[in-house]
Amino acid sequence: MRLITDMKDKRITLSHGAGGKLMHNLIEEIFKRHFSNPLLDIFDDSSVFSSLPEKEICFTTDSYTVQPIFFPGGDIGKLSICGTVNDLSVCGAKPFYISVSFIIEEGFEIEKLERIVISMKKAAEEADVKIITGDTKVVEKGKADKIFINTSGVGFKKRSLLLGRDFIKEEDVIIINGNIGEHGLAVIKERKGLEFDVEIESDCAPLNKMIEEIIESGAKIKFMRDPTRGGIATTLNEIVEGKNFGIILYEEKIPIGENVKSLCEILGFDPLYIANEGKVIIVAERKDADKILNKMRKNKYGRKAEIIGEVVGKPEGKVLLKTEIGSTRIIDMPTGEMFPRIC
Amino acid sequence: MRLITDMKDKRITLSHGAGGKLMHNLIEEIFKRHFSNPLLDIFDDSSVFSSLPEKEICFTTDSYTVQPIFFPGGDIGKLSICGTVNDLSVCGAKPFYISVSFIIEEGFEIEKLERIVISMKKAAEEADVKIITGDTKVVEKGKADKIFINTSGVGFKKRSLLLGRDFIKEEDVIIINGNIGEHGLAVIKERKGLEFDVEIESDCAPLNKMIEEIIESGAKIKFMRDPTRGGIATTLNEIVEGKNFGIILYEEKIPIGENVKSLCEILGFDPLYIANEGKVIIVAERKDADKILNKMRKNKYGRKAEIIGEVVGKPEGKVLLKTEIGSTRIIDMPTGEMFPRIC
């Protein structure tokens, strides 16, 4: 692969964002070259595609400000594709089209920009989505932190697939596809330069294929959500909020690596509140739990899938954790300071 | 209208972006309250809508980093809606759905955030588009400049409406809907605190209604583009780039206010290169020019519409300006430093 070291400029200047020749070169040399596909029209500001009959359209957006921009298991580019792919997937849609918009700090190394772009390209290929439109802005040195990326996404959902918190009922099960806490801890460890002898990688991954397989299996899914910022504790609280049901979690069933356990002990974190970027929480009918677990465990992103809890009638609107020693405690929505810039 | 001064916090903190209770309050109190519509589901990360039969979907994205964030005639919020609405409109689509994503610097005043959000709401109402999904990130003080906004947009275009540079032919006319250079100069004047005795306001406006009226008139449009960053000089150069035709502009026909003329003289700027945010350049068949001008001039955003030039066979790939004194000069794509953070 020809790398951009061919380009005369090694760093982003304000002119790269000013709409003139340098910006056009950047678009041609970095964005168009790596993101190339028949629909891509970064130059033409917007892109046109056909809709599918009998489908609804899903639309989502996310800005990524993760710091540091490179971390074990991923970087801001991979994250920006996977995050938006997963947001569409958990609403039941097959993700198709992605827009990318960069805000770049003056002086940012073009070599790093290209590494990020290549990483986006790879993630988009794995997820089988097309980057079809984009935008670049450059701000003065000190007015942004290296690079921020927004991705928005469009996907198509079968009309017949009805998902929503309203469908959730007592005795439904809560399923997750694997170990929790890895993304947040990998980022924090890298950011703080912690030298503990514990290996940890972000779980950042596109989950759309796995989720499509589960949907196609015919399993009766009620609701899905990717437990990113605020971890599974926050996602589960969002699920029960204002509803006439609660959730009980079984601590011993929650998949968690020894590395996450150790780091959380050392740092005093609760893994339930740590961000994931390759996890999905599925609420489903109990009778279909095995069908879902089977599909998950056959996929490389779901080998450690488990039923981690169930929906209960009381207490309403609360998430309870049943600990390994048999006691029960309430898992609240986080209030105070958590970890900024994890995604 | 109840303003957010009710909220206990007066400034954005990192916790407002951390996924917990404070972030949920912010979403409820500021975003959901002002942007409310039946489809809005900022909380649910993505939004679902139905597609229209016999239409193609257009998808666009833009990040806004304008500095200062408030300027005569608009602010970053109004700009972020109008810019994306116009990007969809010039590709021939009727804009429908908008996503909004905020990157906010820690310490930013919530009162200012609310002014921006209200301004977005008003622009969205005027353009008749719905804000249906969103995202918020907060970064540490000094890691962003107050606020950056990304908007992405989805619109629907009739399949039968074919627009593109390939349809442009010799003798087609170049039409603009009014005075050039106002947005860029209003922002620069405000940014630099220039005290000249010249009133100037950004032309920032949603052009979708005017453009829809023109399309519905049946006029044979070949191509449209909004001349933002880099002004009409850049847009016209993008139109002729690599093509077997050129464009001649008639200087005396280009609508320009006395205020823009004076400021450009004082500051040494060329108004052809200054950004617009409420202008569209239309390339059309000459026989339909009057139809287009009539529609434009009946709309408040097109009163000063003019035919400013025409497509010529030679020189290929160039934009020429015929000056008022009869000489001719080449209008090039800008190369060096222009004005960063105009949009």
Q: pLDDT (tens digit, 9 = 90+) per residue, A60-70?
A: 999 999 999 99
User: DSSP letter at A93?
Assistant: P
Q: Can you list the residues of chain B whose pLDDT is less than 70?
A: 1-9, 38-53, 336-337
Residues in A 320-339 with any Cβ partner in B closer than 8 A = 333-339
Identify the sign of the CA torsion B153, B130, A61, B203.
positive
The token pair at A174 is 């809560």
Residue A46 confidence (pLDDT): 62
Q: Compute the nearest-CA separation of A292 from chain B (Å).
A: 23
- Examine the pLDDT at A339 and tell me if it is beyond 60: yes
How would residue A18 be classed by pLDDT, with cut points 50, 70 and 90? confident
Would you call A87 and B46 a contact, using CB atoms and an 8 Å cutoff?
Answer: yes
Q: Residue B335: left (phi > 0), alpha (psi -120 to 50), or beta? A: alpha
Query: Cβ of A55 under 8 Å from any chain B Cβ?
Result: yes
CA distance B246 to B169: 10
Q: Which of A55-59, A287-291, B294-298, B328-332 has the lowest mean pLDDT?
A: A55-59
Contact call for residues A136 and A17 (beta carbons, < 8 A): yes
Which amino acid, residue A212? E
Mean pLDDT of A154-183: 95
Which amino acid, residue B337? E
Find, among A264, A260, A270, A261, the residue nearest to A332 by Cα: A270
CA distance B83 to B343: 9
Residue A17 confidence (pLDDT): 77
Contact call for residues A131 and A120 (beta carbons, < 8 A): yes
**Where do the structural domains in chain B lie, given as residue ranges?**
11-158, 165-330
Matching fold, domains B11-158 and B165-330: no
Would you call A59 and B333 a contact, using CB atoms and an 8 Å cutoff?
Answer: no
Find, among A141, A153, A129, A138, the residue nearest to A30 by Cα: A138
Would you call A18 and B229 a contact, using CB atoms and an 8 Å cutoff?
Answer: yes
C-alpha atoms less than 13 angstroms from C-alpha of A302 in its C-beta half-sphere:
27
Contacts of A133 in chain B (CB under 8 A): 59-61
Closest CB to B140: pick one of A47, A154, A340.
Answer: A340
Contacts of B49 in chain A (CB under 8 A): 56-57, 59
How would residue A21 be classed by pLDDT, with cut points 50, 70 and 90? confident
Closest CB to A57: pick one of B51, B53, B93.
Answer: B51
- Examine the pLDDT at A334 and tell me if it is beyond 90: no
The token pair at B123 is 């622009």
Contact call for residues A235 and A281 (beta carbons, < 8 A): yes
Would you call A46 and B145 a contact, using CB atoms and an 8 Å cutoff?
Answer: no
What is the phi/psi pair of residue A71, to 5°? -150, 160
Question: At a CB cut-off of 8 Å and minimum separation 6, what does A162 contact?
Answer: none
Find, among A251, A258, A261, the residue nearest to A309 by Cα: A251
Residue A51 confidence (pLDDT): 63
Query: Cβ of A188 under 8 Å from any chain B Cβ?
Result: no
Residue B81 confidence (pLDDT): 98
Closest CB to A49: pick one of B52, B59, B88.
Answer: B59
Would you call B24 and A333 a contact, using CB atoms and an 8 Å cutoff?
Answer: yes
Query: Cβ of A248 under 8 Å from any chain B Cβ?
Result: no
Helix (H) or strand (E) holding B89: helix B76-90
Peptide bond between residue A68 and the one before it cis (omega within 30 degrees of 0) = yes
Would you call A20 and B340 a contact, using CB atoms and an 8 Å cutoff?
Answer: no
Residue A278 confidence (pLDDT): 98
Where does B11-158 sit in CATH, by number?
3.30.1330.10
Residue holding tokens 């997820």? A127
Cα separation of the two ends of chain B? 28
Closest CB to A101: pick one of B45, B63, B335.
Answer: B63
CA distance A295 to A316: 31
How would residue A194 be classed by pLDDT, with cut points 50, 70 and 90? confident
CATH architecture of A165-330: Alpha-Beta Complex (3.90)
C-alpha atoms less than 13 angstroms from C-alpha of A244 in its C-beta half-sphere:
3
Residue holding tokens 């514990």? A198
Closest CB to B143: pick one of A20, A145, A238.
Answer: A145
Residue from A152, A228, A270 whose CB has the most chain B CBs within 10 Å, to mutate: A152
Helix (H) or strand (E) holding B260: helix B258-267
What is the phi/psi pair of residue B307, to 5°? -80, 115
- Note the Cα B21 to chain centre separation in Å: 35
Contacts of B32 in chain A (CB under 8 A): none
Global pTM? 0.92
Find, among A49, A56, A246, A16, the residue nearest to A136 by Cα: A16
Q: Strand B173-176 vs strand B306-312: parallel, antiparallel, or unpaired? A: antiparallel
Residue A74 confidence (pLDDT): 98
Q: Compute the nearest-CA separation of B246 from chain A (Å).
A: 18
Query: Cβ of A9 under 8 Å from any chain B Cβ?
Result: no
Contact call for residues A131 and A32 (beta carbons, < 8 A): no
Residue B194 confidence (pLDDT): 87
Q: Which residues are registered as beta bridge partners of A11?
A: A109
* Most confident range, picked from A22-26, A336-340, B22-26, B205-209: B205-209
CA distance A10 to A80: 24
Peptide bond between residue B315 and the one before it cis (omega within 30 degrees of 0) = yes
Mean pLDDT of A310-322: 97
3-class SS at B219?
Answer: coil
Residue B212 confidence (pLDDT): 98
Query: Cβ of B180 under 8 Å from any chain A Cβ?
Result: no
Would you call A57 and B132 a contact, using CB atoms and an 8 Å cutoff?
Answer: no
Would you call A335 and B53 a contact, using CB atoms and an 8 Å cutoff?
Answer: no
Nearest CA in chain B to A336: B15
Distances A198 to A194, A266, B246 between C-alpha atoms, Å: 10, 11, 63
Residue B226 confidence (pLDDT): 97
- What top-level class would CATH report for the domain A4-158? alpha beta
- Examine the pLDDT at A38 and tell me if it is beyond 80: no
Query: Cβ of A166 under 8 Å from any chain B Cβ?
Result: no
